[in-house]
């Protein structure tokens, strides 16, 4: 029996999971090297199991840690994985694994069966089935009239699985040639729109109560570190502009530098509003008095909005009414989550940039 099936047998039977560092017991799964499941047999925590996440086999340590956080929220679970240096699983993967481990489900799509398991699964498997047919003449007579049913996959694919990877490369090459052969609107007009695109713009609130302002947004988006606002130590740049550098293979070079402003008085041309990709607000409507759309209900239908708040703080009702995204940050010294928060924010911003034609050209 492999380690993950041994673990499932223990979790269903409420047997204790014990950790060992060498020959000594330990309570820390991070420091432990082995684990036992209610008996003397020990399994290496670094052993790769038959549980797959994103087509990669996962170590026993990650599987056990997921089970230990069966009742935890996905945020608490991911934070715990980050603290202990253990790979984390997405919500649906985590839910299916823990459901299978507690016995509520008889199968898990992420646990794959070894080819040799039919012969060594402890019940005889295929070998016993063949032996029984040979020994039982009645079974042999029945087998003469047996017809194999055809399942959905066999009907579509035939008797052999076909690898279409070679066709994928041909399709990509064909698509690339098609794009080159069809001139774009910008090329017809004698100019390349991608090359002429100007840096995108983010607008933040000038309010002193804003958690994210010109004074600390560069630290936040570039260094993944949230600096709590302090009027005595933090100063707004005199130029009224901050440049955020963010290189990404998904984005065109023009999007690798993003301008951040808190005053739209400098928007002297309509094209400036075409470059706006996000607006950060504190929930105060006066911020939008000089904007292209002064009504927040209309503004945030045209531009993505963001509201930064501390964990557990109550979000103003108008933020929900305005269709604004909420970004949660921690108070005090709890800065270990900043990287995860900024990473998720950049994923959101990159999707916005690509939708605004700032994606990398193939």
For residue 298, give Cα distances in angstroms to 106, 210, 292.
Answer: 50, 22, 10
Condensed to tens digits (0 to 9), the pLDDT of residues 267-317 reads: 888 889 999 999 999 999 999 999 999 999 999 999 999 999 999 899 999
pLDDT at 130 over 70: no
pLDDT tier for residue 243 given thresholds of 50, 70 and 90: very high
pLDDT at 256 over 60: yes
The two three-digit tokens of residue 16, written as one number: 């204790």
pLDDT tier for residue 324 given thresholds of 50, 70 and 90: very high
What pLDDT is attached to residue 171? Answer: 78
* Contact (CB, 8 A) for 221 and 228: no
d(Cα 217, Cα 204) in Å, to the nearest integer? Answer: 9
| Block residue for tokens 């299978």 | 100
Condensed to tens digits (0 to 9), the pLDDT of residues 286-297 reads: 999 999 999 999
* Contact (CB, 8 A) for 302 and 324: no
What pLDDT is attached to residue 280? Answer: 97
pLDDT tier for residue 120 given thresholds of 50, 70 and 90: very low
Percentage above 70 pLDDT, the chain: 80
d(Cα 98, Cα 90) in Å, to the nearest integer? Answer: 12
| Block residue for tokens 């309570």 | 27
Percentage above 90 pLDDT, the chain: 52
d(Cα 304, Cα 325) in Å, to the nearest integer? Answer: 8
pLDDT tier for residue 186 given thresholds of 50, 70 and 90: very low
What DSSP assignment string belongs to 83-105? HHT-----HHHHHHHHHHHTTS-
Higher pLDDT, 231 or 33: 33
The two three-digit tokens of residue 40, written as one number: 């003397």
């Amino acid at each position: 029996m492999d380690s993950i099936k041994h673990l499932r047998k223990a979790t269903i039977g409420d047997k204790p999971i014990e950790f060992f560092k060498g020959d000594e017991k330990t309570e820390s799964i991070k420091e432990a090297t082995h684990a036992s499941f209610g008996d003397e047999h020990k399994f290496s925590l670094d052993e790769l199991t038959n549980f797959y996440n994103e087509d990669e086999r996962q170590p026993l340590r990650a599987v056990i840690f997921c089970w230990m956080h069966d009742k935890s929220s996905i945020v608490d679970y991911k934070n715990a994985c980050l603290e202990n240096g253990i790979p984390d699983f997405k919500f649906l993967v985590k839910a299916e694994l823990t459901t299978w481990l507690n016995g509520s489900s008889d199968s898990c799509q992420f646990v794959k069966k070894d080819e040799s398991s039919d012969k060594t699964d402890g019940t005889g498997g295929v070998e016993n089935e063949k032996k029984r047919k040979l020994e039982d003449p009645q079974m042999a007579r029945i087998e003469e009239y047996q017809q194999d049913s055809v399942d959905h996959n066999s009907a579509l694919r035939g008797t052999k699985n076909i690898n279409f990877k070679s066709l994928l490369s041909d399709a990509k090459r064909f698509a690339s040639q098609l794009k080159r052969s069809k001139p774009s609107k910008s090329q017809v007009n004698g100019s390349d729109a991608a090359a002429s695109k100007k840096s995108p713009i983010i607008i933040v609130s000038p309010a002193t109560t804003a958690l994210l302002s010109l004074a600390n947004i560069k630290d936040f988006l570039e260094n993944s570190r949230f600096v709590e606002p302090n009027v005595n130590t933090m100063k707004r740049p005199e130029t009224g502009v901050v440049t955020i550098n963010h290189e990404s293979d998904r984005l065109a070079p023009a999007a690798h530098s993003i301008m951040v402003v808190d005053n739209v008085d400098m928007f002297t041309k309509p094209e400036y509003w075409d470059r706006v990709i996000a607006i950060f607000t504190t929930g105060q409507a006066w911020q939008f008095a000089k904007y292209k759309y002064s009504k927040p209900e209309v503004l945030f239908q045209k531009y993505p909005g963001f509201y930064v708040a501390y964990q557990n703080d109550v979000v103003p009702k108008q933020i929900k009414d305005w269709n604004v995204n909420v970004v949660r940050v921690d108070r005090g010294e709890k800065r270990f989550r900043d990287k995860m928060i900024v990473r998720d924010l950049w994923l959101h911003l990159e999707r916005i940039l690509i939708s605004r034609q700032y994606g990398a050209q193939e």
